[in-house]
Amino acid sequence: MPISTSIVPSEPMPHDALILGGSYAGLSAAQQLVRARRRVLVIDDGKPRNRFAARAHGFLSQDGRPGAEIAAAARAQVAAYPTVAFRMAEAVEVERIDGGFSVVFADGTRTCGRRLLLSHGVEDVLPDIPGVKERWGRTALHCPWCHGYEIGLGPIGVLGRGDHAVQYAATVAEWGQVTLFMGLEVGLSPEDAHLLYRRGVTIETTPIERLEGDAPTLTGARLADGRFVALKALFVGAQIQVGNPFAERLGCEMTDTPMGRVIKVDGMQQTTQPGVFAAGDLARAASNITLATSDGMIAGHALFRSLVEEETQRVA
Residue-level pLDDT, tens digit, the chain, 316 residues: 334 333 444 457 899 999 999 999 999 999 999 999 999 999 998 887 777 787 888 888 888 888 889 999 999 999 999 999 999 999 999 999 999 999 999 999 999 999 999 999 888 889 999 999 999 989 999 899 989 999 999 999 999 866 788 999 999 999 999 999 987 656 788 899 899 999 999 999 999 999 999 999 999 999 999 999 999 999 998 788 888 899 999 999 999 988 889 999 999 999 999 999 999 999 998 888 999 999 999 999 999 999 999 999 876 5
Return left, alpha or beta for 194; rule: phi > 0 is left, psi -120 to 50 is alpha, else beta: alpha
Burial of 76 (0-12, 13-18, 19+ CB in 10 A): exposed
Q: What are phi and psi of 258, to 5 degrees?
A: -60, -20
Report the CATH fold assignment for 127-236. FAD/NAD(P)-binding domain (3.50.50)
CA dihedral 153, 157, 160, 161 (to 10 degrees): 100
Q: Do domains 15-122+240-315 and 127-236 have the same CATH topology?
A: yes
Beta strands, E only, 71-223? 84-88, 91-97, 100-105, 110-118, 122-125, 140-141, 155-159, 177-181, 202-204, 208-212, 220-223
Domain positions in the chain: 15-122+240-315, 127-236
For position 160, what pLDDT does the model report? 81
Give the phi and the psi of residue 164 in degrees, each rounded to 5: -60, -40
**Quick check: 222 and 204 in contact, CB under 8 A?**
no
Q: What was the pLDDT predicted at 224?
A: 95
Please name which of 235, 71, 65, 232 lies closest in space to residue 145, comparing C-alpha atoms. 235
Long-range contacts formed by 267-271: CB under 8 A, 24+ apart: 267/298, 268/298, 268/299, 268/301, 268/302, 269/295, 269/298, 269/299, 269/302, 270/302, 270/306, 271/118, 271/247
* CATH tag for 15-122+240-315 (out of 3.40.50.2300, 3.30.300.30, 3.50.50.60, 3.40.50.300): 3.50.50.60
Contacts of 216 (CB under 8 A, 6+ apart): 134, 135, 138, 139
Do residues 218 and 230 make contact, with C-beta atoms less than 8 angstroms apart? no
pLDDT at 44: 93
CB 144 within 8 A of CB 171: yes
